[in-house]
Amino acid sequence: MNHLLTLADLSSAETLNLLESARALRSEWRRGGNRPALEGKSLAMVFQKPSLRTRVSFERAIQQLGGSAMYLSPQEIRLGERESVADVARVLSRYVDGIMARVFSHADIEELAAFSSVPVVNGLSDLYHPCQALADYLTVWDRFDKLAGIRLAYIGDGNNVAHSLLLGGAKLGVNVVVATPPGYEPNPEVVRVAREAAAETGATIEIGHDPIAAARGADALYADVWTSMGQEAETQERLDRFKGYQIGTRLLAEAAPHAAVLHCLPAHRGEEIAAEVIDGPHSAVFDQAENRMHAQKAVLLQLLGSPGA
C-alpha cells in the first residue's frame, strides 16, 4: 500500500490484514492505550465537505498512535479553485507525512495521489468510501465472528458506500446484495470488478430492485441516506423514488432473527431508516461509528508506520 484510494487496489489478504490490525489496535486501546507507533508523524486532513465522523475519527486515530493531525477546512484550501490539486499535493508533501482528503470528485483524490510524495487516504469521494467499508466489515466480523458466507443486504442508493461495500465484501467472502430503485444502481464497472474479486473468494454479488427479496435471510441490513451532499436539488424526487426502501420493522422481519442493522451516519430518521430500528436491539450503528477510528488507525499504521511498528 502506497495510498488507500479504493478497496479495489487491495488484495483479499491485504484487506483482511487491515481488519486484523484494527482489531488488535482496538484491543490494545481498550486495555489502556495504543503504543506511540506514529510518534512524530503528521497528517493533513483536507476537507471539501464537512464531517463529524471523518474529522474526529481520523484526528483521534493518529493522536492515539502518537502523531498529530491538522484540519484544513473547505474555506482554507478550496481545493482545485484557489490552488490546483497538483500544487496542493506538492506543497503538503513538503510539510506532512500523510494526507487524508474528503472530496466531492474522486478525480481529485487520484490527482492528489499522483502528485503527492506522501501517502494519500480517501476519506470519502463521490465514487468510494473505503475507510467506512473497513469499519463496516470490522463491525460485521465482531457480530458474527466470521465474514465468509455472511449475507449483507444494502438497501438504497447505489452510491460510494455501496461501491465500497461491494468491493470489500467480494474480497472478504461476504455475499453482498444491493437493492435500489431502477436508475439508482451501482456503477457497472465497480460491479464488474467486485464480481471478479468475488469469483476468487467464493462470494456472490447480486444487484436488484426488490428490497424485500434482498432483506430475506440477511445477516446484516445496511442503510445510507437517500440524498447525499451535493444532491440537494434531487431531494423530493429521491424521497418519491425511494419509498419502500426504508429499513424499518417490515424489512427487518424478513432478515435473519440475529440480523445486525448498519448505517454509516448521519441518519435521516424516518426516511431511509426507522427510529425504532436504529435505536433497537439489532442496531450496530454506534459500534460501527467507533470502528471508523480503529480501522483508520490500521490504515495509518500501514501507510505511515515503520516496518514492524
* CATH number, domain with residue 103: 3.40.50.1370
pLDDT in tens, 93-117: 999 999 999 999 999 999 999 999 9
Task: Identify the pLDDT of residue 228.
Answer: 84
Burial pattern 233-269, b for ≥16 Cβ within 10 A else e, equals eeeeebeebbeebbbbeebbebbeeebbbbbbbebee
| Number of domains, the chain | 2
Q: Are 137 and 121 within one domain? A: no
pLDDT in tens, 116-166: 999 999 999 999 999 999 999 999 999 999 999 999 999 999 999 999 999
Residue 12 lies in a domain: yes
What gap in Å lies between CA 295 and CA 206, rounded to an integer?
26
Residue 121 lies in a domain: yes
Q: What is the pTM of this model?
A: 0.97
Q: Are 121 and 144 within one domain? A: no
Which of 307, 262, 308, 304 is CA-nearest to residue 65? 304
Residue 224 lies in a domain: yes
Task: Identify the pLDDT of residue 308.
Answer: 57
N-terminal to C-terminal alpha carbon distance within the chain = 15
How far is Cα of residue 67 from the mean position of the Cα atoms in its chain? 22
Q: Is the pLDDT of residue 91 over 60?
A: yes
pLDDT level of residue 4 (50, 70, 90 thresholds): very high
Task: Identify the pLDDT of residue 269.
Answer: 97
Whether 278 and 2 have beta carbons less than 8 Å apart is answered as no
pLDDT level of residue 307 (50, 70, 90 thresholds): low
Residue 237 lies in a domain: yes
Q: For residue 239, what are the CA distances in angstroms to 181, 187, 259? A: 11, 21, 26
Q: Which residues contact 221 (CB under 8 A, 6 or more apart)?
A: 153, 155, 215, 247, 251, 252, 255, 259, 260, 261, 262
pLDDT level of residue 53 (50, 70, 90 thresholds): very high
Q: At what angle do helices 130-144 and 12-30 cross, to 10 degrees?
A: 70
Q: Are 227 and 169 within one domain? A: yes
Provide the H-helix boundaries in the chain: 12-30, 53-64, 74-77, 85-95, 106-115, 130-144, 160-172, 188-201, 211-215, 235-241, 249-254, 275-278, 285-304
The range of the structural domain enclosing residue 94 comes to 7-129+292-304
Q: Are 56 and 114 within one domain? A: yes
Sheet holding 220-223: strands in order across?
205-208, 175-179, 151-155, 220-223, 260-263
pLDDT level of residue 259 (50, 70, 90 thresholds): very high
Q: Are 97 and 197 within one domain? A: no
Q: Are 282 and 135 within one domain? A: yes
Average pLDDT, integer, range 2-13: 98
Q: Are 29 and 140 within one domain? A: no
Residue 1 lies in a domain: no
pLDDT in tens, 166-176: 999 999 999 99
Residue 2 lies in a domain: no
On average, the pLDDT of the chain sits at 96
Residue 11 lies in a domain: yes
Phi, psi (rounded to 5 degrees) for 229: -55, 135
Q: Are 65 and 158 within one domain? A: no
Strand duo 260-263 + 42-47: pairing: unpaired
Give catalytic residues, as residue numbers.
102, 129, 132, 224, 264, 292
Total residues belonging to the chain: 309
Q: Are 123 and 75 within one domain? A: yes
Q: Are 81 and 170 within one domain? A: no
Q: Is the pLDDT of residue 309 over 70?
A: no
Share of the chain above pLDDT 70, in %: 99
Q: Are 124 and 25 within one domain? A: yes
Phi, psi (rounded to 5 degrees) for 286: -85, -25
- For residues 31 and 75, the model is more confident at 31
pLDDT in tens, 16-29: 999 999 999 999 99
Q: Are 118 and 157 within one domain? A: no
